[in-house]
Amino acid sequence: MEEIMCAEELSKTFTLSRKQQKIEGTRVRRKTAVDHLTFSAYRGEIFGLLGPNGAGKTTTLRMLATLIRPDSGDAVVDGSSIVSDPEGVRAKIGFLTSELKLEDFFTPNYLFDFFSRLHHVDDATAAERKERMFKRFGIDRFAEVKVANLSTGMKQKLSLVISLVHDPEIVIFDEPTNGLDVLTARTVTDYLQELRAEGKTIILSTHIFSLVERLCDRVGVVIDGRMVACGTLAEVCDGMTMEDRFFEIYKEVKGSDAE
C-alpha cells in the first residue's frame, strides 16, 4: 500500500472569547481543537475520521486543505507539505465542505471554466471533463442557470463537481452527506466509491456510523482532538458494529464522564 498522505503530530488551538468561556464554564483562554494527531491515508482507499461534533475532525481537514495552519506538526500530501508548500497541496487535493459556497450570480458553466483556469487545466481537457461530470450529476440541463436559481441538491452536486475540476488524486470531504436529501446523498456516496475504483484517495469526516461501515476502508476515531483508534474497519470494530465499538472506545477515553 502506497502512503499518499501522512499527518504527523498535527495540533491546533483556538482562543476562546469571554462569551464562549462562560458558555463552556471555563476560565481557560485557549481550547485545544486538535491534539497531536497522527495518521496516514493510502492510495485508492476511503479513510474516515469518525467522531462526535467538536472532536476536531473539521479542523483537521481544514488544516489538510491549508485553509488554516497547524500550531505544530505537519502533514505531507502527495509529497507537498501543508506548512511549507500550501499551494502545492491545494493543487493536488479537492476539498469540499458546506462552508465553501459558489457565487449565486454565475452559471455552472462559467464556474466550471473559471475554477478550471485557476487550476490550470487546459481548455480541451476542461471541456471534456465538464461534459462528462455535468452529465454524470444531471447538471447539464442547468448549465446556464444561475446558481441562485438552482435547487439545494443541485447546488451541492455542483459544489462537488467544482471541487474536482482538476481531477485531484486526493479528495478531502467534510461531512459528505450532511444536509443532503436522500437522493443526493446516495449520488454522492456512489460517486465516492467510483472515485476509489479509479484509484483516488478519499479522506472524509463524519459522525454517521453507517456511512463509515458502508464506505470506509480504514477509520480513525477522534475524541477531544486526539486519535484514539486507527486502523482498518475490521481492526477498529473488532467484531462489533461501528456504533457499539465507538461507544466502547468513548467510555474508555472519557471514563465516568461518558455516562
Partner 1 sequence: MKTNTVTIIKKEFARFFGDRQMLFTTVIMPGLLIYIIYSLMGSGIQKMATEGQDEVVVVKVENLPESLAPTLCALDSGIVVVEQAFGEEEVAQLEDNDVNAVLLRFPADFDGLATTYDPQSGSAVPNVEMYYNSTNNAAMRVYMAVSSMLNNYGRPFTVNVPQSEGECYDQASDESIGAMVWGKLLPMLIIMMLFSGVMSIAPSSIAGEKERGTIATLLVTPMRRDELALGKIVSLSGIALLSGVSSFIGIALSLPRMVPDSGTLAFHYGTSDYVVLLLVIFATVLIMASAVSLLSALAKDVKNAGTMVTPFMLVVMLAGLMPMFQNDLPTGIGTYLIPFYNSIEVMTAVFSHEMQWMPVAVTVASNVVYTGVAVWGLTRMFNSEKIMFSR
Minimum Å distance from CB 61 to partner 1? Answer: 11
Residues within the interface to partner 1 (CB under 8 A): 65-69, 87-88, 90-91, 95, 99-106, 110, 114-115, 117-120, 162-163
CB 212 within 8 A of CB 219: yes
Minimum Å distance from CB 87 to partner 1? Answer: 5
List the end-to-end C-alpha distance of the chain, in Å, as a whole number: 39
Decide whether 80 or 206 has the Cβ nearer to partner 1. 80
Specify the long-range contacts of residues 102-105, CB closer than 8 Å, at least 24 apart.
Answer: 102/147, 102/155, 102/158, 102/159, 102/162, 103/147, 104/146, 104/147, 104/148, 105/146, 105/147, 105/148
Decide whether 29 or 117 has the Cβ nearer to partner 1. 117
Minimum Å distance from CB 28 to partner 1? Answer: 19
CB 140 within 8 A of CB 134: yes
Decide whether 2 or 99 has the Cβ nearer to partner 1. 99
Decide whether 179 or 190 has the Cβ nearer to partner 1. 179
Minimum Å distance from CB 212 to partner 1? Answer: 24
Could you give the CA distance from residue 66 to residue 75 in angstroms, rounded to a whole number?
Answer: 10
